[in-house]
């Protein structure tokens, strides 16, 4: 079986196993469990739950725990994936298309036979973390363009000075928060970000000071809430969705993104799907109430106009 098919089947199998185990967990573990998948960006997996103090609990049903080397290539192939991500970002910054020949010449080189899988991994990474979609526009010459596919409003605060969108990174964090029971400890968030090459005490080539970005900038912009875990001693901190995140995206959109990673559909994650559906219903009720109130105001204005018509001056 070709390598790419093995990888895709492995991802499907992990998600299937995650689905089965999620159904077997108790209500507390459901808030702590996350879907086991092969995604580099979200690293959401089913493992032992954690209690409110952050201590690991034994969970006999959570047997799927992929090692970190299953999420990324190891050795030189992993390096090629990282190099290709940076090369694609360079092309995006310069607003240039990119060809297969360029990628092989400048990045892939002697690993030409592994090009399809390296490209697949790199494009998944760049889509999930940066919100950039890599589309092949010429199948004969193998020419690709890079498009910013994520939009959380017209504000440009999620783009840095050179135009690299940060929306994908924010969506990753929102996904972690949602799948951890609508609040995620700082440790849980960084465990996920570490897999993508983002570290708390290191400046990132693209994002710069990532800790400042997510604990200060996005908190000030109300995309994230960052607060002390109630009752924690010593003090620990956790992330929640900010008010602006609720305005500009939804749990269903986040779940659709996660389902895409697992090559499945949102309903494959019944607990999270139910939560997302509940939010959609609540939003629909709010919209309906708002429209009803607007209609009532308009009706009152029309009624006043009929009772008290405006007198026109006689000429």
- How far is CA 58 from each of CA 55, 139, 177, rounded to the nearest angstrom? 10, 51, 22
Residue 279 has pLDDT above 50, yes or no: yes
Whether 41 and 168 share a structural domain: yes
HEC secondary structure over the chain = CCHHHHHHHHHHHHHHHHHHHHHHCCHHHHHHCCCCCCCCCCCCCCCCCECCCCCECCCCCCCCCCCHHHCCCCCHHHHHHHHHHHHHHHHHHCCCCEEHHHHHHHHHHHHHHHHHHHHHHHHHHHHHHHCEEEEEEECCCCEEEEEECCCCCCCCCCECCCCCECHHHHHHHHHHHHHCCCCEEHHHHHHHHHHCCCCCCCEECCCEEHHHHHHHHHHHCCCEEEEECCCCCCCCEEEEECHHHHHHCCHHHHHHHHHHHCCCCHHHCHHHHHHHHHHHHHHHHHHHHHHHHHHHHHHHHHHHHHHCCCCCCCC
Residue 197 and residue 122 share a domain: no
Q: Tell me, yes or no, whether 169 and 228 share the same domain.
A: yes
The range of the structural domain enclosing residue 240 comes to 3-71+153-271
pLDDT higher than threshold 90 for residue 9: no
Whether 88 is covered by a domain: the verdict is yes
pTM of the full structure: 0.61
**Share of residues in the chain with pLDDT > 70 (%):** 67
User: Do 98 and 157 have their domain in common?
Assistant: no
pLDDT tens digits, 164-199: 567 778 888 999 999 999 999 999 999 888 877 788
Residue 293 domain-assigned (yes or no): no
- What pLDDT, in 10s, does the model give residues 215-266? 999 999 999 999 999 888 889 999 999 999 999 899 999 898 788 767 789 9
Confidence (pLDDT) at 300: 85
Which CATH number does the domain housing residue 238 bear? 1.10.10.1210
Q: Which residue has the tokens 């809430």?
A: 225
Indicate whether 294 belongs to any domain: no
* Per-residue pLDDT reduced to its tens digit, 62-113: 322 333 333 334 467 888 888 898 899 889 888 899 999 999 999 999 999 9
Look at the chain and report how many structural domains it folds into. 2
- Please tell me the predicted confidence (pLDDT) of residue 256: 87
Terminal C-alpha separation, the chain: 91
Residue 205 reports pLDDT greater than 70 = no
- Angle between helix axes 167-179 and 251-261 (nearest 10 degrees) is 100
Range name among 40-49, 124-133, 217-226, 290-299 with the lowest pLDDT average: 40-49
Q: Which residue has the higher pLDDT, 159 or 201?
A: 201
- 96 and 50 within one domain: no
Task: Tell me if 291 is assigned to some domain.
Answer: no
User: How far lies 94's CA from each of 105, 171, 192, 290, in Å?
Assistant: 19, 24, 29, 44
| CATH label of the domain that carries residue 91 | 1.10.10.1200
More confident site: 60 or 108: 108
Residue 284 lies in a domain: no
The DSSP bridge partners found for residue 50 are 56
Residues 104 and 236 in one domain: no
- In this predicted structure, what is the pLDDT of residue 64? 29
Is residue 309 over pLDDT 90?
no
> Does residue 26 form part of some domain?
yes
- The residue from 148, 174, 194 where one domain ends is 148
206 lies in the same domain as 255: yes
Same domain, yes or no: 112 and 253: no
The tokens describing 290, both together, are: 């708002």
Same domain for 103 and 245: no
Average per-residue pLDDT in the chain?
74
């Amino acid at each position: 079986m070709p390598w790419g098919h093995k990888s895709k089947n492995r991802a499907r199998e992990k998600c299937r196993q995650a689905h089965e185990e999620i159904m077997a967990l108790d209500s507390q573990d459901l808030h702590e469990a996350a879907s086991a998948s092969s995604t580099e960006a979200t690293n959401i997996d089913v493992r032992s739950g954690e209690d409110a103090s952050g201590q690991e609990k034994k969970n006999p049903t959570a047997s799927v725990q992929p090692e970190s080397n299953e999420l990324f290539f190891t050795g030189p192939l992993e390096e090629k994936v990282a190099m290709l991500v940076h090369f694609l970002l360079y092309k995006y910054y310069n607003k240039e298309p990119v060809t297969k020949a360029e990628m092989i010449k400048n990045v892939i080189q002697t690993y030409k036979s592994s090009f399809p899988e390296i490209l697949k991994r790199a494009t998944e990474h760049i889509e999930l973390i940066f919100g950039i979609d890599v589309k092949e526009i010429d199948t004969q010459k193998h020419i690709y363009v890079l498009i910013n596919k994520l939009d959380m409003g017209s504000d440009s605060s999620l783009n840095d000075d050179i135009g690299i969108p940060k929306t994908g990174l924010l969506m990753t964090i929102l996904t972690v928060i949602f799948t951890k029971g609508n609040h995620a400890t700082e440790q849980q968030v960084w465990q996920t970000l570490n897999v993508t090459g983002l570290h708390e005490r290191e400046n990132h080539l693209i994002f710069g000071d990532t800790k400042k970005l997510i604990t200060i900038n996005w908190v000030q912009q109300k995309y994230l809430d960052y607060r002390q875990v109630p009752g924690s001693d010593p003090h620990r901190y956790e992330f929640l969705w900010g008010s602006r995140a609720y305005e500009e995206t939804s749990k269903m959109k986040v779940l659709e993104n996660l389902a895409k990673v697992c090559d499945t559909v949102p309903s494959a994650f019944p607990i999270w799907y139910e939560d997302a559906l509940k939010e959609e219903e609540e939003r629909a009720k709010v919209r309906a109430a708002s429209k009803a109130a607007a209609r009532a105001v308009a009706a009152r204005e029309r009624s006043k106009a009929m009772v008290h018509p405006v007198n026109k001056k006689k000429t």
